[in-house]
Amino acid sequence: MSDKLRSMEVFVAAATADSFAAAAQVLDISAVMVGKHVRALEQQLGASLLERTTRRQTLTEIGMRYLERCRDVLASVDTADRVAEVLRAVPQGVLRVSAPVSYGLQRLMPVISAYAELHPQVQVDLALNNRVVDLADEAVDVAIRSGALYDAELIARPLRPAQMLVVASPAYLARHGRPQHPADLAQHNCLAFGALEPGHSWRFMQGESRVDVPVRGAFASNNGQALLAAALAGMGVVVQTDTLLESHIAAAELIVLLPDWQLPTRALHIVRRPENRPSAKVRSFVDFVLERLA
């Protein structure tokens, strides 16, 4: 509460109790402090609010009018505090969430569906894109971040990392054979994420062994869905996240290659702005996602 609101509160108590001493007892402060608050208001207003004698105190005409308005102001502040407390305690309102496209569709949407059923007063606004959004500038409450975190001010909690898999369609493998070792991929059409530049490679690990395979192929794209479509069409071998590939692997549309070798994982985090007391909708959503995807 600001100093002026506090002074208003003290003045109302003094006027209601008919004495500084009684008001001091109610507010658990000294009678001298009660007098200071009342005099501070009188100085700011340039008018006397209370007339005091050795036996009693009475409100001036201005004091009576001011007392009514102070009570209205303090009641409004109390109502606003209660509204804020309800909003903080009960998940409600619009929750703006940002996530990468594939992760949002495959992993996050089932979680959002379950969350919405549990919290019908929350309206989730999900934005799917593969760029790093600015939570403050774009009024985003919660975001899923893939890869390294560069904003140390955000509150970040780790999610289950994305596993990278190397796959190809049955039709492609029927024509070109199945690689038995990462080095064999040098003889295959590798579908690259980004531009096909010299030195681009895929890294495979098996225990202490590490193999970097130069990527060469006839197709590259900066879009994972495009690379997936190319692999499904039998154009070549692709490395993508398990999030994007798992339904196609389950349907035998794509075959996992080199299962004894591991590719680097990709870190995932759920992040929010650094609020000391996040709203109930933000707090409950973050906890709900962590329960299912951490």
Q: pLDDT digits over 40-67, tens only?
A: 999 999 999 998 776 788 899 999 999 9
Sequence letter at residue 203: R
Q: Residue 228: which pLDDT band, with cuts at 50, 70 and 90?
A: very high
Range 192-221 average pLDDT: 85
Alpha carbon distance 264, 256 (integer Å): 15
CATH topology for 3-83 is Arc Repressor Mutant, subunit A (1.10.10)
pLDDT for residue 2 is more than 80: no
Report which secondary-structure segment, H or E, holds 23.
helix 20-27
**What percent of the chain lies above the pLDDT cut of 90?**
70
| Helix and strand numbers, DSSP H then E, in the chain | 10, 14
Beta bridge partners of 83: none
Instruction: Report, in angstroms and rounded to the nearest whole number, the Rg of the chain calculated over CA atoms.
Output: 32
What average pLDDT does range 116-127 have in this prediction?
96
- Give the Cα separation of 37 and 76 in Å (integer): 21
How confident is residue 199, by pLDDT bands cut at 50, 70 and 90? low
204 neighbors 261 (Cβ within 8 angstroms): yes
In CATH, 93-161+267-293 is 3.40.190.10: yes
Where exactly does CATH 3.40.190.10 map onto the chain?
A: 93-161+267-293
What is the percent of the chain with per-residue pLDDT over 70, rounded to a whole number? 96
Q: Per-residue confidence at 104, pLDDT binned at 50, 70, 90?
A: very high
* pLDDT above 80: residue 73: yes
| Mean per-residue pLDDT of the chain | 91
Q: Which one of 1.10.260.40, 3.40.190.290, 3.40.50.10190, 3.90.1150.10 gives the CATH number of domain 164-264?
A: 3.40.190.290
- Angle ∠(140,144,145) on CA atoms, nearest 5: 110
Both tokens of 75, joined, read: 């009641």
197 — pLDDT class (breaks 50, 70, 90): low
φ, ψ for residue 165, nearest 5 deg:
-125, 150
From the list 216, 214, 265, 220, the residue with the least C-alpha distance to 241 is 265
Write down the residue that tokens 């479509």 correspond to.
229
State the span(s) of the chain assigned CATH 3.40.190.290.
164-264
List, by residue range, all CATH 1.10.10.10 domains of the chain. 3-83
**pLDDT of the residue at 206:** 94
Distances (CA, A) of 118 to 16, 54, 108, 111, 121: 47, 63, 15, 11, 9
Q: In degrees, to the nearest 5, what angle opens at C-alpha 89 toward C-alphas 83 and 91?
A: 100
Give dist(CA 192, CA 170) in Å, integer: 19
